[in-house]
Amino acid sequence: MGLMNKIVQKPRYIDIFAGCGGISLGLCNAGWEGIFAIEKDKMAFETLRFNLINHFDWPEWLPIREFDIKNLIALYQKELISLRGKVDLVVGGPPCQGFSMAGKRKSNDKRNKMVDLYIKFIYLVQPKFLFFENVYGFTVATKKRINQEEKIYSDYVVKKLTDLGYNIAFEIIDFSKFGIPQRRKRFILVGIRNGNSGEAKSFFSNLKKHKKEFLRKRGLSVTVSAKVAISDLERRHGIIQSEEMPKFNVGIYATPKSNYQKLLRQKIAENTTLPDSHRFTNHSEKIIEKFEYILKTSQRNKSIDESIKKRFNTKKRSVVALDKNKPSPTLTTLPDDYIHYLEPRILTVREYARLQSFDDSFQFKGKYTTGGKRRTKEVPRYTQIGNAIPPLFGEQVGLSFLYLWEKNFNKNDCK
């Protein structure tokens, strides 16, 4: 966009509910400097720390480890208040399961309380800008209990942040219209402290105005298909036994077949043959047979019909075979929801990451997946990616905020 040539002092941000660091990676690429990031899961924070710790100017008073935001606010309220006037942007997306259209959507879901902690954090720090991301269902009323009113949480958040002195604008954004190979609709809200309605709305107009030029400079189209994103990772290109986990095979890189693949591989060494986290699941013959049948008979990017579920006695709510010529559906935290567009298997962690636009140099830490009761408590690699904001979109977010920062605030007053 040409703006970075004008900036001497980098603007600074804090990432809360940071996950593995998807938006932080994007902001870093856009020229922002991180102060710190808050994430309560140990595995997700390990991934963020491994990849991004050098990007943060971490304060001495805050330990570099996983932290529950509730505990952070309780322990370091004075330190957070001392940051007023020194933080340009706070970004964050509170856990979304309580609002997801795929869930029960109860207004008393404990996870919905994270929204209040986000608002509390904004009150304490008072950044110049804020960015809030959540699922589309955030704009839809939750189910009420007896004698309770339905809640539309987007209305609640807008009111609370407006009361704190922020001018707010929000839209539903489909990431597949911004070069992400995934049809992923999200509620995006931005706020400017003591700003006006036109300035807040200009975030979205700038985002849309500059996306084609942003993508053109990287050799990308506005719409990217699943095949364009991951065809160099297909199993048929070759496998070897994993040194880390000998019971599993890992895939070998093929020559990049698209500009998207070249872009996401540009930070790795040219002689690299093994992508990070490209481990294939050991499917049984019965599972392979089922997947082969689904690939032959089912409509792509649509959940299998009831007849197929009965044929294979599956109780899964959704199983989708990807369409190679279109962006993938919204990735969830459950990898067995999706079947590769060509091969009878689920996607690898690296393929998941590609569809979320993480570059291949970004390494994921922790377990690959988990199950049972641990599913609600742990954030393994697939979950980290499924919960993330795509970094390529995060970079566009960062550039759009830079325009507002240049226009509204003296670039020398942020420290």
Residues marked active site are found at 96
Task: Please report, to the nearest 10 degrees, the dihedral formed by the alpha carbons of residues 403, 407, 411, 415 taken in order.
Answer: -90
User: What is the Cα Rg of the chain in Å?
Assistant: 21
Tokens for 335? 């990898």
Q: Which residues contact 26 (CB under 8 A, 6 or more apart)?
A: 389, 390, 391, 392, 393, 394, 395, 396, 397, 398
* Beta carbons of 34 and 43 less than 8 angstroms apart: no
Residue type for 156, please? Y
HEC letters along the chain: CCHHHHCCCCCEEEEECCCCCHHHHHHHHHCCEEEEEECCCHHHHHHHHHHHHHHECCCCCCCCCCCCHHHHHHHCHHHHHCCCCCCCEEEECCCCCCCCCCCCCECCCHHHHHHHHHHHHHHHHCCCEEEEEEEHHHHCCCECCCCCCCCCHHHHHHHHHHHCCEEEEEEEEEHHHHCCCECCEEEEEEEEECCCHHHHHHHHHHHHHHHHHHHHHCCCCCCCCHHHHHHHHCHHHCEEECCCCCCCEEECCCCCCCHHHHHHHCCCCCCCCCCCCCECCCCCHHHHHHHHHHHHHCCCCCECCHHHHHHCCCCCCCCEECCCCCCECCCCCCHHHEECCCCCCCCCHHHHHHHCCCCCCCCCCCCCCCCHHHHHCCCCHHHHHHHCCCHHHHHHHHHHHHHHHHHHCCCCCCC
* Beta carbons of 414 and 86 less than 8 angstroms apart: yes
Task: Please tell me the distance from the alpha carbon of residue 10 to that of residue 28, in angstroms, as a whole number.
Answer: 10
